[in-house]
Amino acid sequence: MLTDQTIVFLIIGLALVFFIWGRFRYDLVAMMALISSVLLGVVPSDQAFVGFGHPAVITVAAVLIISQALRQSGLIEQASRLMEPFSHNPSLHILALSTLVAFCSAFMNNVGALALMLPVAIQSAYKSGRPTSEVLMPLSFGSLLGGLMTLIGTPPNIIISSYRAAETGQSFAMFDFFPVGFGVAVIGLAFLSLVGWRFLPKRVARSEENDNLFHIEDYITEVRVTDGSRIIGRRLLELEQLAEGNLVAVALLRGEDRMLAPSGYMRLREDDILTLEADTATLKQIVDEQKLELVGSTDYTQATLKSDRVDVLEAVVTPGSRLEGRTAQSIQLHAHYGLSVLGVARQGQALHERLGRVRFKPGDVLLLQGLREEMPETFSAIGLLPLAERDIELMPRQGSLVAPLIFALAILTVVTGLLPAEIAFVSAVGLMVLSGSFPLKDLYESVDWSIVVLLGAMIPVGLALDTTGGSAAIAEPLITLANHIPVWGIMALMMLVTMLLSDVMNNAATAVLMAPISITIAKALGVAVDPFLIAVAIGSSSTYLTPIGHQSNLLVMGPGGYTFGDYWRIGLPLDIIILLVSIPLILFFWPLYPA
């Protein structure tokens, strides 16, 4: 009969396989691991969902909401204007962008900080004629480095702090991570800006005047609705459905009235002239079946498909987007959201397969046509990040300073010890809503619920690993090495293992699994647990070798035109640098044998 420890190992082992495989979302994998642990008796049923009320989970959710409030404050957009003078020099350009995103990431969610800076970085690259491939990966890595500096900079730090509280009775303070995190961030940013970007592929530069990613003009044709057309009196959406989503009506000419991005509910009339985007086979099929008259190809470009009301924008599919794993037809993107997909690019290359058959993936760049005033809200609702430059106001919007001030007050209460982090930041969220500086309708949409579910599900599983003796069993081989290598060598080896795990699975899940193991090792070696926990925190957030380890890496994959193998080019040397720099810093600021 299997022991509880063996069962936990099997469950965690299978979870790791599914995390690495990536076929299923990590929150679903974590929940299945939790349910399996309960059904097999290694997690008591009355303890199954205690993770969802864990202080670390509450803090992460509150920080995600605060991050959105800070994004809406408009302050960072103003600061980004200061980047323009540095764009003439590649190293200064990358240093300025990555430093700003690192600073933002120290106090808000990594992905939120990156999403804020991504359009700014792309636009500045366009203006300087510099390939986005040189800029965006350093920007992503900068957001990860910045998160190392504070308690709330990244979920692993919050998780590590909760384990320290359980072990010693006291959690890490707001800036306890700063001495080591700041040193690692400074060296890391210096590497990225001076050396790292030179290792990246120099993909073709794009500019505002010459955007060569999408060549939609090659697929645009005008057709006339004749008196014998079968489509007369039917809605435009029905024509798109007949083409199985492989056709987009970008304009409609009715008499003297020209309509861009026409509503899908418009009924077609005789002599209407439709401007269609479709591949040759789809166009021929629709023209023949519906008895339309082919007027001819046109010289339309993206610019001619815009107006005061209609815009054409690029947007990237974010992890967790409603589009993920679906097609434009299955989600009825035009009917429900008023958006028409004109093109899809993946890893920097435009896809030439039929648009109706494309299942969207995180990091895909979409070329979309829709109503200008509705696009921001629609993008937010379905999980798209616009890549166009934002309209940056010279003065903050009324009330925009309220959210940052409330946040600063919350940080002050945490630093001074007046309130624990989870209480301080949940209170801050409440004050932001009550003050009107953050709309209540945006509150729940600001939370990445996949992270919350992941943490809530994995915490009981991590506790089961510890209570069944699994942590001690995993730690034993490292402990036996103490006879051959110094303690700092064991700590470095544990950090290396944590780094490798975080590259193939979520960094928060990595922290949940590695924290109890690090505590077990430290106690067995008779040294303080703090340096080992800090090492796990650094290792968990060092997700630089692959695009799947962190959402920030995945977000820049499409806009930067990166392939899976591009990440290790600067990720591997950066990991080595972090390992060499962080171990001495940890030993200096967090001694193994405190006085």
pLDDT in tens, the chain (595 residues): 788 999 999 999 998 888 877 778 888 999 999 999 999 999 999 999 999 999 999 999 999 898 888 877 766 666 666 666 777 888 999 999 999 999 999 998 888 888 888 888 887 887 788 888 899 999 999 999 999 999 999 999 999 999 999 999 999 999 999 999 999 999 999 999 999 999 998 865 454 444 556 777 777 888 999 988 988 999 988 888 888 888 888 889 898 888 888 888 899 999 999 988 888 888 888 888 888 988 866 666 666 788 888 888 889 998 778 898 899 888 888 888 989 888 888 877 788 778 878 899 888 889 899 998 888 888 888 888 888 654 433 334 444 688 889 999 999 999 998 999 999 999 999 999 998 888 888 888 888 888 899 899 999 998 898 889 988 898 998 888 888 899 999 999 999 999 999 988 888 889 999 999 999 999 999 999 999 999 999 999 999 998 888 888 988 888 888 888 899 999 999 999 999 999 999 999 999 988 6
Q: How far apart are CA 61 and CA 63, in angstroms?
A: 6
Q: Which two tokens stand for residue 155?
A: 């979920």
Q: How far apart are CA 211 and CA 141, in angstroms?
A: 26
Q: What is the pLDDT of residue 397?
A: 45
Which residue type, as a one-letter code, is found at position 66?
I
Q: Tell me which residue of 269, 271, 257, 259 sits closest to 224, measured CA to CA.
A: 271
Q: How far apart are CA 539 and CA 510, in angstroms?
A: 9
Cβ neighbours, 10 Å, residue 167: 16
Summarised one tens digit per residue, pLDDT across range 501-514 is 998 888 888 999 99
Tokens 């924290």, located at residue: 515
Q: How far apart are CA 448 and CA 426, in angstroms?
A: 16
Q: CATH number of 216-301: 3.30.70.1230, 3.40.1160.10, 3.30.70.1450, 3.30.590.20?
A: 3.30.70.1450
Summarised one tens digit per residue, pLDDT across range 384-443 is 888 865 443 333 444 468 888 999 999 999 999 899 999 999 999 999 999 888 888 888
User: Which segments of the chain belong to CATH 3.30.70.1450?
Assistant: 216-301
Q: What is the pLDDT of residue 450?
A: 85
Q: How far apart are CA 289 and CA 425, in angstroms?
A: 61
Q: Tell me which residue of 188, 340, 327 sits closest to 249, measured CA to CA.
A: 340
Is residue 534 within 8 A of residue 180, CB to CB? The reply is: yes
- Kind plus residue range of the DSSP H or E element containing 220: strand 220-225
Whole-prediction pTM:
0.83
> What is the widest separation between alpha-carbon atoms in the chain?
93
Kindly state the DSSP code that residue 319 receives in the 8-state scheme. Answer: T
Q: How far apart are CA 254 and CA 70, in angstroms?
A: 46
